[in-house]
Amino acid sequence: MRYLILGGGIAGTSAAEELRKRDAAAEIAIVSEEQHPVYSRVLLPHYVKGKIPRERVFLKKETWYGEQNIEWLTGVRATNIDVKNQSVALSDGRELPYDKLLIATGGEIRTLPFERRGVAYLRTIDDTDHLLQLLGERTGGERGGVYGGGFIACEFVNAFAHHSLPTKIAFRGPHFWSNLFDEQMGALVNDRMRSQGVEVLPGTLISDELFADCSIVGIGIGIEPDFSILKDAGIEIGGGVKTNEFLETNAPNVWAAGDIAEYFDTIVGRHLLVGNWMNAQMQGRAVAANMAGEKKPFQLVSSYATNILGLEIIFVGDVNRQAAEDVVVHGSAAAGGVTQMFLRNGKIVGAAIVGRNMDRAPITKAIQTQSGPPTLA
Amino acid sequence: MPKLRIKVDPDLCIGAASCVTIAPETFQLNEENKAYVLDHGAEPTPRTYERIIEVTDAEKENMILAAQSCPTLAIFIFDENEKQLFPET
């Protein structure tokens, strides 16, 4: 049996590890565009703040791959997938045959449409090294800029605050997560930033002039996977690579997992595209079980938590507001916290929680048990 | 049964809740969205980030799995001889 895994992040590596546990004799290969052993992207903000040394970011040593008898191809990517003859062409000219293929290539960050000095992204460890270099080059009196209204923008704001860099943030909508947050939640985040001295510019389009007074500009405007070779291969693409509840694509012997997978979630009853650590890691393990022949649906109420300048933000389950039939709101900006619960067919399917941490456990349980919205304190 | 010392570093914990998903009998989140440590679902002593727990081999394996799942490696597990089992040093 030859397993080929495209993507060396946490989904792909967890799958390889699980496949090896299940089959000592199988051939397993990981194709990784990055040169580094698997590392925790979630630890990158801790690394920026100096909470941990660089080496602590890595989850496996380089020697792990050899010890596990996993072929680890770095600095290469797939350029063509032939699902009929079951082989993948790589950017270095090689052709790799497979019996079973996993697509776990994640997403690529959207970048600015123009060049300028001092631009920083925060997807990879190389991005993070670059950001730390920019922070280290300061001589005094600099300002930092942030563009974006999501998780990565939060991390830039926190990192700049940690490094005592006066910050200006701009985003297109009226507030963070403008498709998801209501006005009260948006106000909580904007007010928190303003109260900590951040200049906040809502409703602002990105331009070269916007950050003319900033020596470092952090960009967090989302990810955008490259689907071109997958489409060419005849693999069904929606918002991500479409899979059923077993993480199988429409192509025979091809699976998907992690940020790129738009899987059918049996708990909430629709396809979900989820970009968080827990989902990627658990899907990696689950897809390996399915690739090894176990027919087991992937079921997880995943969540992600962060904070912006100490204000806690938690997403649980299906947080697509547009796909909800009803929204139940608890709390208020004046009370310091707001929770929005998203409902379909009378059942709770997801929630966004700002400054109300204790709502998380009852909400998670209610989603898992496919119940109505829980009573909150 | 082996005894393990389970410790969460609240400064590293971001409340991702992977540990709660895998080992809810050992980890739950507090008001600050940090994981604290339980002894088989109970708290025989006041709420704490660190506890010594008697476990079966299967429970031990699951706790290590929970620690491995933490995206900030905030969970530390030591055996009876104070040898750090995870993260591997």
Quick: pLDDT tens for A343-375.
999 999 999 999 999 999 999 999 999 999 999
Residue A182's SS3 state is: coil
User: A373: which DSSP letter?
Assistant: P
Q: For residue A316, what pLDDT band results from cuts at 50, 70 and 90?
A: very high
What's the confidence (pLDDT) of residue A313? 98
The length of chain A in residues reads: 377
Q: Which amino acid is at A12?
A: G
Tell me, yes or no, whether A67 and A136 share the same domain: no
CB A321 within 8 A of CB A342: yes
pLDDT band at A114 (very low <50, low <70, confident <90, very high): confident
Which residues of chain B have a CB within 8 Å of the CB of A46? 12, 72
Q: How confident is the model at residue A377 (pLDDT cuts 50, 70, 90)?
A: confident
Is the pLDDT reported for residue A336 higher than 90? Answer: yes
Average pLDDT of the segment spanning A96-120:
94
ipTM of model: 0.92
A336, part of any domain = yes
pLDDT at A208 over 90: no
With contacts defined as CB-CB under 8 Å, which chain A residues touch B69? 278, 281
Domain-terminating residue out of A164, A184, A219:
A219
> Within a 13 Å sphere around the CA of B43, how many CA atoms are in the beta-carbon half?
11
Interchain pair A304, B16: CB under 8 A: yes
Cβ–Cβ gap B17/A56 under 8 Å: no
Say what the pLDDT of residue B89 is: 78
Helix/strand/coil for A228: helix
Residue A38 confidence (pLDDT): 98
pLDDT at A220: 97
Pairwise CB contact (< 8 Å): A360 & B17: yes
Contact at 8 Å (CB) between B33 and A314? yes
Residue A318 carries which DSSP code?
-
Which of 2-61 (B) contact A at CB < 8 A?
Answer: 11-12, 14-18, 21, 28-29, 31-33
Residue span of the structural domain in which B51 resides: 3-86
Residue A250: domain span:
2-108+223-291
Contact A313, A319 (CB under 8 A): no
Query: For residue range A21-60, what is the model confidence (pLDDT) as tens digits?
Result: 999 999 999 999 999 999 999 999 999 999 999 999 999 9
Higher pLDDT, A161 or A224: A161
CA A293 – CA B31 distance, rounded (Å): 42
**What pLDDT score does A344 carry?**
97
Residue A81 lies in a domain: yes
DSSP string, A60-100: S-HHHHHHTTEEEEES--EEEEETTTTEEEETTS-EEE-SE
What is the structure's pLDDT at A244?
98
Q: Per-residue pLDDT averaged across B33-42, rounded? A: 97
* Domain shared by A78 and A214, yes or no: no
Q: Which pLDDT belongs to residue A115? A: 82
- Mean pLDDT value across residues A220-242: 96
A373 within some domain = no
Residue A7 domain-assigned?
yes
**Partners of A343 in beta bridges:** A326, A348
Is A63 among the domain residues?
Answer: yes
Provide the whole-model pTM: 0.96
Cis link prior to B87 (omega < 30° from 0)? yes
End-to-end CA distance of chain B: 24
Asked whether residue A113 carries a pLDDT value surpassing 90, the answer given is no
State the total domains in chain B. 1
Are A81 and A39 in contact, with CB atoms under 8 Å apart? no
Query: Which residue among A52, A278, A307 sits closest to B17, beta carbon to beta carbon?
Result: A278
Helix, strand, or coil (residue B15): coil
* Cβ(A198)–Cβ(A157) below 8 Å: yes
Alpha-carbon Rg of chain B, whole angstroms?
Answer: 12
Average pLDDT over chain A, rounded to an integer = 97
- CATH of residue B21's domain is 3.30.70.20
The pLDDT assigned to B88 comes to: 86
Both A45 and A85 in a single domain? yes
Residue B82 tokens read as 């104070």
Share of chain A above pLDDT 90, in %: 97
Q: Which of A180, A202, A219 is the last residue of a domain?
A: A219
Q: Which residues of A278-310 are buried (b: 16+ CB within 10 A; e: fewer)?
A: bbbbbbbbbbbbbbbeeeeebebbbbbbbbbee
Decide if B17 and A305 are in contact by the 8 Å CB cutoff: yes
pLDDT band per the 50, 70, 90 thresholds, residue B8: very high
Separation CA A9–CA A41 (nearest Å): 9
